[in-house]
Structure 1
Amino acid sequence: MIKIARSYTGVPYRIGGNDEQGIDCSGLLCNTFKEFGIKLPRVSWQQSEFFPAIDIPNIRTGDLVFFSVNGKVVNHAGIVTEVRSEDEVIFIHASTSKGVIEDNMMTNYWKARFASACRPDFGK
């Protein structure tokens, strides 16, 4: 799953986008899971409710993470690509300014906007 998501690294951000010409955060998740025959909802707040929720101390590679960037509604999503320590949890997402990149979700910026996490169920 991580390999598929990383294949989009560097693709520019485009709202509503879902291909190599431009992609948004929920499109990145949709395209990644489509490779496994799983049809995720197209918007991030619905994606956040699709799989069972987990707590941050239990987070691991492959988990989905969701953020409220502009207020209280979940409007940003990513996939955890590496858990290096409790202070360094790397996730891939579609940044509006930098396209598809990996960031540490334990920075002050992302921690302040964290909304939830869930663990994919590939039997769904």
Structure 2
Amino acid sequence: MNKKWLLPIFASFMLFSTTHIDSAEAATKSEVTETASKYLGTPYKYGGTTTSGFDCSGFTSKVFADLGITLNRTSGSQYQQGTAVAKSDLQVGDLLFFNTSGSGISHVSIYIGDGKMIHSQTNQGVSYSNVDDPYYWSSRYVGAKRVATFDEEQKAEVKQAAIDFTVYASRAEVAGQIAKALNLDTSDKNSGFIDVKPTHERAGAIAAVAKLGIFEGDVNGKFNPSSPITRAQIAKVLVLAFGLENASQEVTFSDVPKDSWANEYVSILASNGVTNGDANGHFGMDELLKIKELKVFIERLQQ
């Protein structure tokens, strides 16, 4: 195994800087609508997550990322987040879910008020629709989830009930583990991030990472210490951190598409024996990283 202690690990965290669940200030209702609407006309693209083309969950993920909130990657996994909301109690920013395939959750949109939603549709791309459209959407409606409550005072109460941070790794946890692995000086508790006070248990580790001059917070100057990351994201982090290269032939997993940005990193991680996937040949790229997984990965890399 080719191991190198490389600091570019922190550059990879910049990819996550705008995609976090945070219990602090986020956006107003009008900002939700404005953020989503700026993508009107963007074409639909299966598996798309960028402005060159979005699929339905790629679009919702991008909008919420712009607002500083992390969503899971797929419509089905987004349905596992937040708290259920009755159709009669919908608020701007609620996620609406539909069964368009005949087999469970297959579409997601964002409610923008007055009975309207914005989403990325197969034939129209990002566009508006009526939630109670009698010709299509109304009969396929499954339910709604509230991941964040937006108001007019620029605050958002994020529903954290779906994420147990005694089980899943937060950004603060990752910073702590990386600082320990790299033997960084964590005595300085002043991180420079507005949402990390010197009294935060991971303030020293976060400050140590920030001192490298590579790690950046989001556009609001936040570190978002209570946000999760996915297994796909940590694969890239670890490959960059340890300077890993393919140790054997390419290793593939059934849930990691060949054209996915994460494919190379997951394959390299697996070829070095850091991960084996599950019994079904899945890596779980969109699953949130667990603390025990993070520790095992680092331990294996340090052997």
TM-score with structure 1 setting the length: 0.90
Q: Alignment length, in residue pairs?
A: 119
Structure scoring higher RCO (CA < 8 A, sep ≥ 6) equals 1
Q: 2:116 aligns with which of 90, 100, 118?
A: 90
**28-37 vs 50-59, which moves further:** 28-37
What corresponds to 2:39 in structure 1?
8
When Rg is computed on C-alpha atoms for both structures, the one with the higher figure is 2
Counterpart of 1:78 in structure 2 is 109
| 2: CA distance, partners of 1:72 / 1:112 | 14
SS at match of 1:27: helix
The residue aligned with 2:129 is 103
Q: Give 1:16-55 correspondences, 5 Å limit.
A: 16-55=47-86
State which of 103, 106, 118 in structure 1 corresponds to 2:145. Answer: 118
Match of 1:86 in 2: none
Root-mean-square deviation (Å): 1.2
More strand by share: 1
Distance in structure 2 (CA, Å) of the matches to 1:34 and 1:62: 13
Judging by fraction of residues, say which structure has more helix. Answer: 2
Percent identity at matched positions? 33
Displaced runs of 4+ in structure 1, greater than 3 A?
Answer: none
> In 1, distance between residues paired with 2:117 and 2:89?
15
Deviations 1:52-74 (A, max 9, x none): 00111111222110000011310
Unaligned stretches of 5+ in structure 2?
1-31, 149-156, 161-303
Q: What is the Cα deviation at residue 81 of structure 1?
A: 1.1
CA distance in 2, matches of 1:101, 1:35: 18
CA distance in 2, matches of 1:22, 1:112: 27
| Alpha-carbon separation, structure 1, partners of 2:70 and 2:113 | 24
Cα distance in structure 2, aligned partners of 1:36 and 1:7: 13
TM-score (ref. length: structure 2): 0.38
